[in-house]
Chain A
């Protein structure tokens, strides 16, 4: 059972464009939704995270939009740059984001920003 579904699997965006990655979850107990960025040969690194008490969170060029009723959340990368090319994972967890169950990850989106 895949509890966090992520799409698209791969995405190509022109430099300066907006990259959008979507995730949907099934477990209504999830209350912490981070996005991780992974470069080739490296471990995932936290990019931005949101809790369901807000509908949007913005940090620089990165924005999470959250729709609790639809059980969906998305990552928007504004003014996408070649350096943003990486694999992006959405994740979800119960509670603060750690502890017993860890993070449940989506399957990842391979993002390529073309110069």
Chain B
């Protein structure tokens, strides 16, 4: 009955590798997001996406790319991983209800680049 799920929960990899993080939501939401939480717990949006439009935060390197095979999934692909990419990555989804669009977050993927 998990609302927003992410895999893997932990990811340890070498610098220069390419990796993907998967996200799935079973809430029927139209919009999905990726956030990055750094070591100081600062949360920053990377992407927002619905089935029509991808909005990219201009500070996100183009090594990061979201891929949405369908409305319930938004995967994050990262090429040429760097040490600074180490962080916790959260997927979220939202839908408009009662005049507000509550975002539901997944449990996070802890990425460590060595």
Contact = CB atoms under 8 A, between A and B. Distances in A.
Interface stretch (B37-45, B67-75, B77-85): B37-45
Contacts of B45: 101-104
Nearest to A98: B101
B101 A43 contact: no
What's the dominant secondary structure at chain B's contact region?
strand
B41 A43 contact: no
A99 B53 CA distance: 10
B108 A102 contact: no
B109 to A, nearest CB: 10
A102 B35 contact: yes
Interface residues of B, number: 28
A69 B95 CA distance: 30
B33 interface: yes
A44 B90 contact: yes
Contact of B103 (A41, A95, A97, A100): A97
A100 B102 contact: no
A96 interface: yes
B44 A46 contact: no
What's the dominant secondary structure at chain A's contact region?
loop
B42 A43 contact: no
A111 to B, nearest CB: 12
Contacts of A99: 31, 48, 101
Interface string B16-43: 0000000000000001010100001111
A107 B42 contact: yes
B94 A97 contact: yes
A67 B5 CA distance: 36
A96 B101 contact: yes
26 contacts: A41-B107, A43-B4, A43-B92, A43-B106, A44-B43, A45-B105, A49-B100, A51-B99, A51-B100, A95-B101, A96-B96, A97-B101, A97-B102, A98-B94, A98-B95, A98-B103, A99-B48, A101-B45, A101-B55, A102-B33, A102-B35, A102-B45, A105-B42, A105-B44, A107-B40, A108-B42
